[in-house]
Amino acid sequence: MAFNLAQRISFAATAVALATLVPGIAFSQNSSPNTPPAQPAQPTNPSNRPATVEEVLGLTPGQVQQIRDILVNRQQQIESVLTPDQRNRFAQAVQSGQNPGTALRSLNLEQEKINRIRSIVETSNQQIRGVLTAEQLQRLQQQVQQNRPSSQR
């Protein structure tokens, strides 16, 4: 099935959105809700691929779906803040491989839009944290600390 432009942007933004919550961890796009839950933490990775958020946090399929729903909603809300021209420029930048966060910054948005997008991201991050167990939240905090530059620790 071919994806339209909005779906491709949504998938890319979903991956980046969670990456902003947990920098440095890839959120796999190919997990299906029927995939069995990954084993918690300690991911040994013989294929040298980055551990997915599902693997690191030990997310259940239900949690993965809830988080994806939150991220899709976040993307829709962010897109509603942008003008059609800004959405097109954002889409082109993401399609050309630019990081969505960088692509948004390159739009030179008005401060009001920047504040609205920050609010959307903060709210969705809180919702995501609400999906996680106490143990998963602890692992998330550890990942955030590990992925921060040493000057920010």
**How do residues 120-140 score in pLDDT, each as one tens digit?**
999 999 999 999 999 999 998
Give the model's pLDDT for residue 7: 45
Give the model's pLDDT for residue 132: 96
pLDDT in tens, 80-111: 999 999 999 999 998 999 988 899 899 999 99
Give the model's pLDDT for residue 101: 85
Give the model's pLDDT for residue 152: 59
The residues spanned by each domain of the chain are: 6-79+111-152
- By the 8 A CB rule, do 52 and 38 touch? yes
Q: How many CB atoms lie within 10 A of CB 51?
A: 19
- By the 8 A CB rule, do 23 and 130 touch? no
Residue 1 has pLDDT above 90, yes or no: no
Query: To 5 degrees, how large is the angle CA 102–CA 105–CA 109?
Result: 160
Give the model's pLDDT for residue 145: 86
The C-alpha atoms of residue 86 and residue 65 are separated, in whole angstroms, by 29
Give the model's pLDDT for residue 41: 43
- 61 pLDDT band, cuts 50/70/90, is very high
pLDDT in tens, 7-41: 444 444 444 444 444 433 333 333 344 444 444 44
Q: What is the pTM of this model?
A: 0.64
Give the model's pLDDT for residue 119: 97
Tell me the three state secondary structure of residue 26: strand
